[in-house]
Structure 1
């Protein structure tokens, strides 16, 4: 079965909550399709941006070709702050339904880039 390729370029984030008390945040993004660890991809951390990181990193994902298989799926982006001592800390997350990012790449304009901006939300762990 042929899969579609979803290419996502993560540009930047603005006004993130500072989760480091002493040092400047070095934020990176961890992106997955529906939280599946097999699809996990990361941007390099931005050592200079602090609360306003910039990555301009392009990630490529294989996505099921039909809407039925992608239904309920999402592009999950977790923002984390790299730490020298201790575990990295979650800064926030963005969850985008797959149908929202897969529309517009159909027969009419398969290579036309789409630009979107999303609100970073507090991470909710269950």
Structure 2
């Protein structure tokens, strides 16, 4: 079993439908990213206050992915949901993009940044653009760093000394 580092840079969206037009306001758009809709993997971009229907974020998120997740038949999905801020009644939903990690992995070259552009929902005019890389992780990275191992050893030594002096 091995792990991959999946690094994603959510760059921008374009031509989003202006769902606030009736109020004469500019949309303030943000995105929520999850892997397999797992709330532990939730990441959220800052709100773009300027771009309106063409927001720009350049927001980076990093995930650790089990290699088996990109080989399964039931694909592990990257989901990016777009919302706009509202002052009352909760935020508004714009649309979403769901991409199997397996598809992204198959399109990528290890360690090389790839750009992916896709439509938001069923409207081909609404586009979402992000870049990503997959990097194989070393055993040290997946089992803990050296400083962490040394810290655990130090704490264990201190516990042993305290117990020995208490008797």
**Bigger helix fraction:** 2
TM-score normalised by structure 1 residue count: 0.85
Matches within 5 A, 1:11-22: 11-20=11-20, 21-22=22-23
1:72 aligned onto 2:42: no
The CA RMSD over aligned residues, in Å, is: 1.8
- Tell me, which stretches of 5 or more residues in structure 2 are unaligned? 123-167
**Bigger strand fraction:** 2
TM-score normalised by structure 2 residue count: 0.65
After alignment, is 1-10 or 92-101 more displaced? Answer: 1-10
The whole-number CA distance in structure 2 between the counterparts of 1:5 and 1:37 is 18
Partner of 1:86: 89
Partner of 1:30: 32
- Tell me, which stretches of 5 or more residues in structure 1 are unaligned? none
Partner of 2:106: 103
Partner of 2:112: 112
Aligned residues: 119
The whole-number CA distance in structure 2 between the counterparts of 1:2 and 1:88 is 39
CA drift at 1:19 = 1.8
